[in-house]
Structure 1
Amino acid sequence: MTAGDMAALFARLLETDIEPEDNFFDMGGTSVLALRLLAEIERAWGTALELIDVVEHPTPELLAAYAARAGEQADSTGGPR
């Protein structure tokens, strides 16, 4: 998953243009939309994240990098993070 992939997902949910460094919440994201984002990430990439992960990594660039690390960790341990 790239920052561009994540930005496209943010853009679809927020219905606006998003750059990799744009903050989800500053661009109009809410906790409800963040939960939808998490569901889409898990559906599309098979990586289960938590709401706090979006809060702590609010840009497509940061969240994509974090999700990639979390996915690698889950793969190496044989289960979800």
Structure 2
Amino acid sequence: MPSGLCATLQLPPSFLLLGFLISIHFGLQGWMLSNLDLDLPFLAFFLFFSFLFFLSFYTSSFRSYFLYWGCGSSIRYLLS
């Protein structure tokens, strides 16, 4: 049984998928409508870490994985 935020609030696993699809929708909509010149690797990076972010709410092991590895690599990517 997952022990993340969804399990604490007694939310079904479909809530995780719904949140991920909503983040993809608004992320792609903002990317297409923005005047910024965002390239494809940045979009793939955003989608990957938004998936890890919502997955971290559902499983505690992925939450620690996201915090220790995901945040560190995202900071390294943004600073490079």
Scaled by the length of structure 1, the TM-score of the pair is 0.35
User: Radius of gyration: which is bigger?
Assistant: 2
> What TM-score, normalized to structure 2?
0.35
Q: Which structure is higher in helix share? A: 2
